[in-house]
Chain A
Amino acid sequence: MHDFTESLRPSQPSGPELLARERAQSNVPTEALANHLLGSDGFLSRQSKVLAVVQSEPLFNKSHQQNLSRPDRFKLALARGKLLRRLADKHGWAPEEHEMAEYLVDDVSPYMLHMGMFVTTIREQGSDEQRAYWLPQIEAWKIIGAYAQTELGHGSNVRGLELEARYDPGTREFVLHSPTLTASKWWNGALGRTANHAIVVAQLLLPDSRTSNGTLGTKYVSYGPHPFIVQVRDMETHQPFEGIVIGDIGPKYGYATMDNAYMLFNNFRIPHSAMLSRHSGVDPVTGKYTKPAESAVVYGTLTYMRSKIIQHARLVLARAVTVAVRYTAIRRQFPDRDGASNCPELPVLDYPTVQIRILPLLAIAFALHYTALAMQNIYANTRREIESGNFSSLAYMHSMSSGLKSLCTTLAADGIETCRRALGGHGFGGGSGLIQLNNDYLSKPTVEGDNWMITQQTAAYMLKKMTAALQKPNAVVADEIDGQFRASLPLILDGAGKESSYDILGSDEDLVKSFQRRATALAYNVYQARVVRKQPWTSLMTDFHKLSKAQSQSILVTKFHDALVSNVDLPAATQAVLRDLFRLFATFTLEADRYEFFTCGAASRAQLDVLPARVNELMARIRPHAVPLVDSWKIPDYLLDSALGRYDGRVYEDLFNRAHQLNPLNKVTVNPNYWEDEIVKGGEDLKDIRAKL
């Protein structure tokens, strides 16, 4: 299309010019910092290798996808999923490289569960024999799998699941049956249209050994939820088997590319070998149950998923912050009120009201990063211990992962939206690059354990630990919580009413101690309420939530600080900037709950009043480095898919191009007169549209 708009340029100064100035004014070495953050495990080299392949395939072009209907969007995602696997074969990609490609294409893939929960569950909960039988088929994608746990009426409370797996010793089969409508599996990704196999979690029902011989009228006893591998669709026709009803659950806030499912069983029989039996089992002949060594072992997979979620959260947030920082460095609005009358409009990133929304999020991305690294190590250690039959750290691991999952996904989800709003009107547009991110990511606060509900797990664990610490103050320190209580508890016990002496404005170590003190004090308060005063559990839930948040914040602050103390691979000036980011994260977090810190003896009365000014001061110090700091996350433009967040700053040209050249709606000419039924000139009319509804 040729028209007079081709010769138009944005008004001056241009975006590229402004970003160049931003990059020139800071000495943060982008490459070195990027290597420090993402270089060590090969992330960056993997990213550039895979990016080159992905970007050259037209199917991965993102420019039209926002306009598609749900069925079309979904078909596109499946086509992309197929192509990615073929490319993986063609280029001999390792699993991490395939994962990288999925990350860059940024569809929630219909194969996601196949490559994630499905294979992981077989690997972790399948017996050696089951692993040997299933894993090769899964890895070759001869079968496509999903993971079916939650039900229409039951989410976080796994024990409440209704689907039954009743063992029939006569035929040596389990009978899967949905006794009610609420027993329908629900939300199970990849199952709605894609998978032909699924891990199905069902209540294991075994004949009561005292009364039964397997005949009709036998009494059954429930042994709780267990996983089974079930073929659910015919391999030829791809239709569900007789006795199984499956479908997609319909449109959602995001995840348009995922076929989340419902699934019901009508006395559907599966062989004895379907029950995953690494940790527990049923004797095929007697129907007798073999207990797992540790009943919490089934939570292992969930814990793994949570640690992945936290790793993901840092990149998601970094992505949103990258867009927000770059665009607010370019966008100008209103001249400075104290400036000369003809002074130019200021970049909005110079406004403290913009800084206070974006810069703490930049700091949070770093905090999440260092915590994710620490979590990864803990998970690897814990896995090794479980494999060798030692389950002692699982409880600690599980409780930490619950609270952290809750806090980190809340921070990232809210952070995306905060960034989006900081972009002003254009943040609402498809060119912001934050729409699909917001839509897809907002599932996170309620999946894999609702962010409010699971804080009870962290609190319960701390309550147990607090009780023990008070009973046996000199017991061996078994985990980090013991250590934290050991250090802070004596201060709380004899410090009542004393003013806090932590130098939170001058000492980084004291900042860390202040967070640990506050979390410990809240744990002590909860202990008093629950154990001493015997208050009902339900009435303390909001306190549990506060405690879990405080403990998780303390972990983030501690891990961030630990990482800085041990980092020597960066120039001193850059380390100083990272320290400021640490301080901003800690001080901003503290400031938001400063009254609570005060009442916990973790901050003094005088400090309360100066904290807001301290936050401002730290933001002013970080502001000049903001653009290079986000550049260091190395989020490719292809992934950002954002006119506002482009590396080169050509914001307005890109926005205009998307509207003008890439928008299919502009090919439609409508008839606006209400008394004429015609909707599209020479095309559909009102009656056609009505008839099709």
Chain B
Amino acid sequence: MPNPPPAWVQALKPAEPQGTQLLTQERAQSNVDVDKLGELLHTKEALQRQDTILSVLKAEKVFDKSQNHTLGRTEKIQLALARGKRLQQLKKLHNWSDEDSHVANELLAEPTPYGLHSTMFLVTLREQGTPEQHKLFYERAASYQIIGCYAQTELGHGSNVRGLETTATWDPEDKTFVIHSPSLTASKWWIGSLGRTANHAVVMAQLFIAGKNYGPHPFVVQIRDLETHQPLENVYVGDIGPKFGYNTMDNGFLLFNKVKIPHVNMLARFAQVDKVTNKYLRPASPSLVYGTMTWVRSNIVLQAGGVLARGVTIAIRYCAVRRQFQDRDAKASAEENQVLNYKMVQIRLLPLLAAMYALHFTGRGMMRLYQENQERMKAASQADQEKRGAGPEQLRAGSDLLADLHATSCGLKALASTTAGEGLEVCRRACGGHGYSSYSGIGPWYSDYLPTLTWEGDNFMLTQQVARYLLKSARAVLAGKGTANDTSRILQAYLDRRDKGASFDILSNDGDIVAAFAWRTAHLTFEALKYRDVEKRSWNSLLVNFWRLSTALSQYIIVKNFYEAVTSPELTSTLDPQTAGLLRSLFRLYALHTLEREASEFFSSAAVTVRQIGLTQASEVMKLLDEVRPHAVRLVDAWKIPDWQLDSSLGRYDGDVYPDLFRRASQENPVNDLVFDPYPWNDNVLKNIPPRSKL
């Protein structure tokens, strides 16, 4: 690394006032109880866990983040594997729980090559394997004796699982499956942990028995030798190359040339081939697994709040430190203004501050609903098995709720991950020029997060499932067969009041804001239903409507969950009245800012009037920005993201932005070891021999 700068440089201080001083002022002007609010968001236990794990990680040199952004791809992923190994070693050393390991990964904040082994591979083996298979595969995988991945998507096929090309053909002669890739587009692609790391894979392949296709099923296939780590014969596997982000992960490709695997390697909890009769069997209903997707998506919603919080924390702290231009209306001698005082900065950042809280509470709400429902279903299915006869209402209610949760989780996943992904870029731009530096901590984080917008179902494709569900519900409600869930309720409420009109008082009644969001959703649903059922328009021509419909429903659910959270006794009894009131302002800011952006739909559906929208735009949102502004720094502090995790010069807790940027640039930047020869007619690029590179 470069030599330290000369004494005269070391003596320089940033111009007054110092960042630390500005953030101290920010914190002094608000009395939000950061610790209380932090515990409400995350629980005391989780925050303590974070502290404990953080101190372990910080002490390990291999987790030093200073070179993360300068390494080449090959070095980067080797370092990531070294980190992944060390995390596993530490887990053993300190007896970490899975939750502890999860926190460690979050703090490290980059994927490791074990990422898919420890999640999808283990989960699939556990959920879809029989007890025999658990012994054979799961137990060895859980102790890392075998390392695996989950190979579903292919070069030519993503979201549409039915279109997969890889085949698994049952051979009744020797009782094996033959795994085969019939074309180039059948190559497995994007499979995390597969490229260089895994020696096993769960492979999704079209099951063929006696020439008949039974659709995609999971198979465990060994792909590399456990000693040499070289691919087995007729297996062709590798890493797919550099990406936009996620470069610490070896996303892989995988091709099979008629590879035979034993009968026991088909994961057989929900479907199997009878060894003797060669018949296809379905021993259990996969409806509980169907719920896994719902759980994964609810988790994405919750996570989206945290992902966004990281960008908002950085941007708000930095915009409180950064000053630019004098206030036009101030005296000529006035100091430059903190950019966070500018409305054009506030209008970008404060609604995102509100959104991160909104997503967090919505994710929590979804997961609570999911757990309640899982318990109800489990109880019902046990009752069923014990033949004591569960009441049909009980079963129905559970599955109605699950259908509702499943559909709404699709839409929410799409909206939440888009909000978080795009929100990060808004935060980055709000940081001005310095946002573009990797030391801002936003860019690399954004690049790694972006695939969430296309995985677990492409955000645009997913919205069709939501629309399908809403249309189905609307038809049921019209036929008088609506169910007890919330979707039916809001559709029915709209029908009941349609002739009388809405007349919601969104400016003084918070409950009415929620009702206005419900109204607009119901209006768009019946409008879409008219296009589809009465005017018989093609499904394809309505996709844009469906996408808007899904967005409307998801915004309603977020607004509703946020409202329920800020009015819940749990919140109002934990927080002092002022902080609770402030969260209420955040709710209003999120809801009214969203309403203002979607003004046309609220107006067309007659949920609100032109006058109401005018007042929302001209005064209400501005008023809320003024209310929230003084508390902005404390409201991000409450999220309790450690500096080590943020890895940002701009977002440091202490506000010492400029010295940190300068230190990293001058001391941690290997480019400054290069002395250039700038002239085109000299062949040498360098005038010196730089120190050997990192790896």
Contact = CB atoms under 8 A, between A and B. Distances in A.
A120 to B, nearest CB: 19
B324 A156 contact: yes
B327 A538 contact: yes
Contacts of B622: 539
14 contacts: A11-B183, A69-B72, A78-B676, A180-B13, A238-B675, A251-B70, A262-B662, A421-B453, A424-B454, A542-B344, A598-B600, A599-B614, A669-B230, A690-B82
B685 A250 contact: no
B344 A69 contact: no
Given A193-B671, A424-B454, A659-B238, A238 B676 contact: yes
B669 A250 contact: yes
B184 A656 contact: yes
Interface stretch (B83-91, B167-175, B278-286, B401-409): B83-91
Interface stretch (B46-54, B156-164, B214-222): B156-164
Contact of A681 (B184, B229, B253): B229
A36 interface: no
B5 interface: yes
B347 A660 contact: no
A692 B71 CA distance: 12
Contacts of B681: 82, 86
Given A150-B433, A674-B84, 10 more contacts: A8-B184, A75-B674, A144-B678, A181-B15, A238-B687, A250-B671, A537-B328, A663-B238, A672-B147, A674-B144
Contacts of A692: 694-695
Q: Identify which of B2, B239, B343 gathers the most chain A CB atoms within 10 Å of its CB.
A: B343
B674 A152 contact: no
Contact of A659 (B241, B244, B323, B547): B241
B243 interface: yes
Interface in B545-603: 545-547, 599-600, 603
A11 B185 contact: yes
B693 interface: yes
Interface residues of A, number: 152
Nearest to A84: B680
A33 B280 CA distance: 59
Contacts of A443: 436
B639 interface: no
Interface in B179-217: 181-187, 189-190, 195-199
A68 interface: yes
Interface stretch (B477-485, B493-501, B533-541): B533-541
B413 to A, nearest CB: 15
Interface residues of B, number: 162
A560 B6 CA distance: 56
A48 interface: no
A194 B671 CA distance: 11
Interface stretch (A219-227, A486-494, A608-616): A608-616
Given A75-B674, A540-B343, A659-B241, A252 B437 contact: yes
A674 B85 contact: yes
Given A141-B680, A674-B88, A446 B432 contact: yes
B376 interface: no
A674 B89 contact: yes
A75 B669 contact: no
A255 B253 CA distance: 29
B253 A653 contact: no
Interface string A306-345: 0000000000000000000000000001101110000001
Given A250-B439, A250-B669, A652-B184, A238 B328 contact: no
B690 interface: yes
A142 B119 CA distance: 58
A154 B432 CA distance: 10
B600 A594 contact: yes
A250 to B, nearest CB: 4
A680 B197 CA distance: 11
Contacts of A70: 69-71, 670-671
B82 A679 contact: yes
Given A538-B329, A672-B197, A689-B78, A141 B679 contact: yes
A164 B542 CA distance: 62
Contact of A181 (B114, B437, B604, B659): B659
Interface string A643-670: 0000000001101101110111110111
Given A334-B160, A351-B543, A679-B82, A252 B436 contact: yes
Nearest to B90: A674
A184 B240 CA distance: 42
Interface stretch (B59-67, B267-275, B362-370): B59-67
A286 interface: no
Interface string A446-477: 11001111010000000000000000000000
B190 A425 contact: yes
B545 to A, nearest CB: 8
Contacts of B658: 152-153, 181-182
B155 interface: yes
Contact of B15 (A182, A453, A686): A182
A193 B540 CA distance: 55
B185 A538 contact: no
Given A537-B329, A686-B62, A71 B243 contact: no
A578 to B, nearest CB: 24
Contacts of B183: 8-11
A631 B537 CA distance: 32
A354 interface: yes
Nearest to B437: A252
B343 A541 contact: yes
Contacts of B542: 352
B222 to A, nearest CB: 13
A66 B685 contact: no
Interface in A1-16: 3-5, 8-11
A431 interface: yes
Given A69-B72, A425-B454, A429-B243, A689 B672 contact: no
Interface in B225-244: 228-230, 234, 236, 238-244
B578 to A, nearest CB: 25
Given A180-B15, A686-B86, A693-B67, A451 B429 contact: yes
B244 A673 contact: no
Contact of A71 (B82, B147, B673): B673
Q: Identify which of A81, A187, A259, A421 gathers the most chain B CB atoms within 10 Å of its CB.
A: A421
Contacts of B114: 674
Given A238-B677, A689-B695, A262 B666 contact: yes
B610 interface: yes
A196 interface: yes
A397 interface: no
A9 B476 CA distance: 48
The 3 lowest CB-CB distance pairs between A and B, nearest first, are A69-B72, A253-B443, A674-B88
B98 to A, nearest CB: 15
A599 B245 CA distance: 43
Nearest to B442: A253
A452 B675 CA distance: 38
Contacts of A598: 600
Q: Identify which of A71, A110, A152 gathers the most chain B CB atoms within 10 Å of its CB.
A: A71
Contacts of B147: 672-673
A43 interface: no
B435 interface: yes
B74 A668 contact: yes
A485 interface: no
Contacts of B2: 247
Contacts of B662: 152, 181, 184, 262
A536 to B, nearest CB: 5
B73 A336 contact: no
Contacts of A81: 680
B242 A66 contact: yes
A237 interface: yes
Q: Identify which of A178, A455, A665 gathers the most chain B CB atoms within 10 Å of its CB.
A: A665
A68 B539 CA distance: 46
Given A67-B73, A334-B160, A75 B686 contact: yes
